[in-house]
Amino acid sequence: MPPRTILLYPNAALKMVCEPVADVDAEIAALITDLVGTMHAGPGSVGVAAPQIGVTRRVCVVDVSKNKNGRDNNHGLLVMVNPEITRQEGAAVMREGCMSVPDYTGDVERAVEITVRFLDGDGRQQEIEASGFEAVAIQHEIDHLDGILFLDRVASLKTGLFRRKSYK
């Protein structure tokens, strides 16, 4: 299946709080397939959330394993249904970008260690600890499920937002 079209800011769907998933059924499995395909097709993408393709359900995928910032510390492909961060520690500022805001990057403060609980693609309860770049990517995607864009977390739009030179 070809990748789905990514909605761009200021599309209203990107600001909606997503509905929880009651059951990981065939419809959710198809959504997961679309999310993974869309993530892999995106230039430099390490994650995508359902609202970015116009589906307001609590489903996202993350895979930082092929990124230089995450290749040494990752869980591989994470399929997360109804993800919930149950623990956060530390804080660091990192430059973030987003396929839904392709022309900008921004400095965002995030927790550097998290514990996240979610259902996997088979509907099984999972809980993992993530740190570094992977933790940042997970927090970014969960924000999408809550209608929050990285733009909302940039401390100063004047000094912490940057026009992207190229999108690779």
State the catalytic residues. 141
For residue 133, the Cα-to-chain-centroid distance in whole angstroms is 12
Helix (H/G/I), strand (E/B), else coil: 153: helix
What number of helices (H) and strands (E) belong to the chain?
3, 8
Residue type, 2: P
Tell me how far apart the alpha carbons of residues 56 and 108 are, in angstroms, rounded to a whole number.
24
Looking at the DSSP bridge assignments, the partners of residue 113 are 89, 131
- Which residues make Cβ contacts (< 8 Å) with residue 129, sequence separation at least 6? 87, 113, 114, 115
